[in-house]
Homo-oligomer: A and B are copies of this chain.
Amino acid sequence: MNNFNWDSSFLADFDLETGISQNAETTKRHLSQMKGMYCDVKAAENILENDDPLVYEFYELGAPEREGDLAFGTTILYPGTIGSEYYMTKGHFHTKLATSEVYYTLSGEGYMVMENPEGDTIEMPLSKNQAVYVPRSYAHRTVNTGKAPLIVFFTFAADAGHDYGSIETKGFRKMIVEQNGKPAIIDNPKWN
């Protein structure tokens, strides 16, 4: 999947309006691939009886996991809810825990939901023209609370690695749900 020479320079297009890239490869996450991550599993199953909606996709370049390199790309997170819970990405820790990530919001609105292994939780609002810093050692998940796609440009150390398993097992301590038509941050009743 890697058509880029990371020892030389290269260009990669990422449309500033749509986040779409012609050069990069897209990975798509449909609801069926993450139904167990939503709190209301029954709501997810009801949707999946008729449809398997695309929740998000990201464009990446297949960076080598080498010290000193940087991985970068865009994520397009679509609007929607599963029960009252807004569409979100799977979320992950970095395998090399003490590494950070920069997200620059190109369009849309939502939250970056973060927590560290000690249980500290942070929720930061995302909006166009704002970059958010995901500090070292924090798991992070993007949530779309708007009516349009949430589009972000991300950069992280190429050797950081992704640990999805911890979040798939335990979930995040906090979740973002729609209450009275507005986003609310609540404790995740299924967190364990």
Q: Chain B residues with Cβ under 8 A from A7's Cβ? A: 135-136
Given contacts A72-B102, A98-B68, contact A131 B9 (CB under 8 A): no
Q: Is the CB of A133 within 8 A of B98?
A: no
Number of interface residues of A (CB under 8 A): 44
Chain B minimum-CB-distance residue to A153:
B104
Chain B residues, CB < 8 A from A124: 9-11
- Supposing A16-B128, A72-B131, A129-B16 touch, asked if A67 and B98 sit within 8 A by C-beta, the answer is yes
Cβ–Cβ contact B138 & A9, under 8 A: yes
Q: Is the CB of A155 within 8 A of B70?
A: yes
- Bound-state CA distance A61–B131 (Å) is 11
Q: Which B residues lie within 8 Å of A68 (CB)?
A: 96, 98-100, 136, 157
In the assembled complex, the CB of A18 is this many whole angstroms from the nearest CB of chain B, namely: 10
A15 within 8 Å of B by Cβ? yes
**Closest B residue, CB atoms, query A155:** B155
Nearest CB in chain B: distance from A33 CB, A: 27
Binding site for B on A (CB under 8 A): 4, 6-16, 67-70, 72, 96, 98-102, 104, 106, 112, 114, 122, 124-125, 128-136, 138, 153, 155-157
Would A131 and B16 count as touching, CB distance under 8 A? no
Complex formed: what's the CA distance from A136 to B96 in Å? 20
CB <8 Å contact, A133 and B100: no
Residue among A15, A72, A101 having the largest count of chain B Cβ atoms under 10 Å: A72
Q: What is the bound-complex CA distance between A138 and B157, given in angstroms?
A: 17
